[in-house]
Amino acid sequence: MMQDERRQDIRIDTALEAEYWAKGSSAGAGRGTVRDFSRGGLRFLFPKPVRKGETVDLTMTVPGDNVPVFATAEVMWAASERDRESTETGLKLLSIRPLDLSRLMDFVYSKWLGGRAASES
C-alpha cells in the first residue's frame, strides 16, 4: 500500500507495549504495540480494525520508568495485516506533555544507538 510521505521527523524502530482506547470505534480498548516512534507520530499495531480519522488515547510505559506516558493521537492511515487479526496504523500525536515526549524520545534514541553500536562491531 503506497502512502504519501508527509513525515517531518525521522522515525526510529522500537517495540513498546501500550494500552489504547479508540474513542467511538469498534476497536474499543486493549493493548497494542508501538513499532516505531518520532516526535510527531508513531506506527502502532492494533489487535482489531480501526479507521483513518479515529482518535486514540494511549498509555505507554517506558522500560525502567514506572511513570506512564499519556498521549492522544489521530489515525492517519490503517492497513490490515495479512492475518487480518491486526491493523497496522500511522498515528499523528495530537496531545502529549513535552516531558513525556522527551522521555519517550530518550528511550527510543538510546535503543537506536545500542542497535547501531551492535551492528558496527
Rounded to two decimals, the pTM is 0.80
- Set out the domains of the chain in order of their start, with CATH numbers: 12-114 (2.40.10.220)
Residue range 76-89, pLDDT digits in tens: 999 976 666 789 99
Residue 46 φ/ψ region, left for φ over 0, alpha for ψ in the -120 to 50 degree band, beta for the rest? beta
Residue range 94-105, pLDDT digits in tens: 999 999 999 988
Mean pLDDT rounded to a whole number for the chain: 84
Out of 11-15, 23-27, 76-80, 83-87, pick the least confident. 83-87
Instruction: Inform me whether the pLDDT recorded for 68 exceeds 90.
Output: yes
Question: Which candidate, 89, 79, 84, 75, places its Cα nearest to that of 34?
Answer: 89
Q: What does the DSSP 8-state code read for residue 90?
A: E
Instruction: Inform me whether the pLDDT recorded for 67 exceeds 60.
Output: yes
Question: Which candidate, 82, 26, 1, 90, places its Cα nearest to that of 52?
Answer: 90
